[in-house]
Amino acid sequence: MAVVEKLGGDGAGAQFVPCWSCKGPVAARALFCHTCGAVQAPGAVDHFTRMGLAPGFDVDDALLEKQYLGFQRVLHPDRFAAKPARERAIAQSQSVALNEAYEVLGDPLKRGIYLLRLRGVNSAAADDKTVSDPALLMQAMEQREALAEAESVDAVENLMIAVGAQAIQLLSDISRAFADDDLDSANRFVLRLKYARKFLEEARLKRAALES
């Protein structure tokens, strides 16, 4: 497919490709062709761009939801039920791309990992790689032990409150690290957030078991 970089333009996004339907030029990022109106395939853009948001760790949840619903309103396959199969399939891939972006941007942990990846850092939190943060491992072990010893709903909830507070603190730590462009710290905090989340999940299960 012919992709033409506009010379002297502002770089990213200033490209156009032939519309699959009318074959005329259409901006690589456009959702619809301005000539024939056909929905366009989701371009290879990052999740922030897709949602029309500025890239960064701080995302306004209400705004994210508004953007998500606004785009789904025009791109969801239900809007194309009477169109040819090919257009329906393209709408579906647009809708899939929106759901993926919404999932990643809507969750601070996934968002942090994603933002690191955009900056070229493959976070240890992204998969189950071995972790080399002795302080984190030590803390995680202590918390696990405390959870194992907790014998009442109250005791479990007290632990949840403590770790929950840590998780909230981590969100602002991550935010600051990204703002300072301190990717090493951001990476470390993101990994801690992952551990805190995991702990909270286990604690929830234990609480449910104790309750029943």
Binding residues for another protein, per CB under 8 A?
Answer: 2, 4, 6-9, 13-16, 18-19, 21-39, 51-52, 66-87, 92-93, 95-96, 99-100, 102-103, 204
Number of H helices, E strands in the chain: 7, 3
What torsion, rounded to 10 degrees, do the Cα atoms 90, 91, 97, 98 define?
A: 160
Taking the least distance from each CB to Zn ion, the nearer of 31 and 121 is 31
Taking the least distance from each CB to Zn ion, the nearer of 1 and 7 is 1
Query: CA-based Rg of the chain, rounded to a whole angstrom?
Result: 22
| Residues whose CB is less than 8 angstroms from the CB of residue 85 and which lie 6 or more positions away in sequence, other chains included | none
Q: Do 147 and 209 touch, CB atoms closer than 8 A?
A: no
Q: 67: which strand partners?
A: none
Q: Which does 62 bind (CB under 5 to 8 A by kind): Zn ion, another protein, none?
A: none
Q: Which does 56 bind (CB under 5 to 8 A by kind): Zn ion, another protein, none?
A: none
Taking the least distance from each CB to another protein, the nearer of 177 and 193 is 193
d(CA 41, CA 24): 15
Q: Sketch the per residue contact string, 3 through 42, with Zn ion: x for CB under 5 A, - otherwise.
A: ----------------x-xx----------x-xx-x----
Q: Which does 83 bind (CB under 5 to 8 A by kind): another protein, Zn ion, none?
A: another protein
Reduced to 3 states (helix: H, G, I; strand: E, B; else coil), residue 189 is helix
Q: Which does 176 bind (CB under 5 to 8 A by kind): another protein, Zn ion, none?
A: none
Q: Do 202 and 146 touch, CB atoms closer than 8 A?
A: no
Sheet (strand 15-18) strand order: 4-5, 15-18, 25-27
Taking CB under 5 A as the rule, does residue 63 contact Zn ion? Answer: no
Taking the least distance from each CB to another protein, the nearer of 100 and 182 is 100
Report the nearest approach of another protein to the CB of residue 100 (Å): 7
Q: Tell me which residues touch Zn ion (CB under 5 A).
A: 19, 21-22, 33, 35-36, 38
